[in-house]
Structure 1
């Protein structure tokens, strides 16, 4: 059973009902109906992301993540970290206030800088630990390119493998770009030589991410989560959820 009922979604966020239903179908396909998790969204606010804010791609991703989170978490809210050279904002999106929320947040942010994964990862880890959550976390991490400090990003991911957190990276942009080679490397870091469990996945959403169907997006978001959950439980990293 979903953490938030269809009836509540219909009342609080009617525009997200179809996303909620699509996410539920993907949860069933992946055997995750009974799973609970804290859901996070991390979005790239570097200069090259400007087009994806302007054309609604970031808002569309936020709405889709909200539709999924309603199955996994009962508070109707998703913490969101905006990052570029530094962490630009740690805020949230909610079912009952999702329309245009990304534009409203971005209107209060400053210069769009470069890309520092590890600072955003640190912000998510801090938020999760401070929250006192007893559920594992699913972190949806969107970017359109590689980080300015690759060594730090790899180090944070490997250290975070000891925590009940799974990082699902999503690439926006040209599928042929070398910018995503590092994310492919992160996805394939060896276990146990580099990290205690495989705690990350990566997929590419293309140059127009809105064109990826809801069903495909949710299946990609959830595709590696069951394997991570089993491995993390086996290692005692996850004890519930």
Structure 2
């Protein structure tokens, strides 16, 4: 975990977010829990408004503030995806401001935003986590605004990877809940329930930070003992 003193020195704008995240973790009995936090964000064409209004950057800030309560490296690996995943970049306390806009423009901005394929982005996360050789579980925040074009492949992978120490916290943007994400939340055939779904609505920046954090942590907290009982976690 990152100390409050260090956070105030390196990223003072995240202090209140980190405190809010800490409260949600404590409510779920997760104070002192360690986990690697990943962030996957949708870069399909329908997402352009959420890049323009700062919603994706705000979620990145929220993910980093959650991470400082769970990990001590001050890094959140970020994966952008549309019809393909883009190279993973580490979001840090010294580099988080404007990182979404910078990466979005690096990949061509709105002119290159494509379709929606979840499975390749998920595979990137699993590969990155395996290469890191860490013993802590991973909490993967996976944001999207719609169902993927590879729905069956995504469901198959989620079921197969229920044997791995990664929990997938899906976050939906948009005016209506995403039925496919609701399906993933209750997908049968898994060793353990390794996914949750939180709908952030059409104006994600208006959702109270505490509400988002509660949505991200509640089922993660339930997954930890279930995963240990199933032998997924030591």
Q: Give the alignment partner of residue 218 of structure 1, picking from 213, 222, 226.
A: 213
- Tell me the equivalent position of 1:170: 171
Instruction: Give TM-score scaled by structure 2 length.
Output: 0.97
Displacement of 1:93 in angstroms is: 0.8
- Show CA shifts across 1:116-157 (max 9, x none): 011111000000001101100000000000000111000110
Displacement of 1:101 in angstroms is: 1.2
Check conservation: 1:89, 1:109, Cα contact below 8 A: no
Aligned residues: 231
SS at match of 1:89: coil
2:14 is aligned with 1:19: no
Check conservation: 1:69, 1:76, Cα contact below 8 A: yes
Write the distance in 1 (CA, Å) between the matches of 2:100 and 2:84.
18
SS at match of 1:224: helix
- Tell me the equivalent position of 2:97: 99
Unaligned runs of 5+ in 1: none
- Tell me the equivalent position of 1:109: 107
Unaligned runs of 5+ in 2: none
Displacement of 1:41 in angstroms is: 0.1
Displacement of 1:89 in angstroms is: 2.7
Instruction: Give TM-score scaled by structure 1 length.
Output: 0.94
Stretches (4+) displaced over 6 A: none
Write the distance in 1 (CA, Å) between the matches of 2:135 and 2:161.
16
Alignment of 1:51-66 (within 5 A): 51-66=49-64
2:155 is aligned with 1:157: no
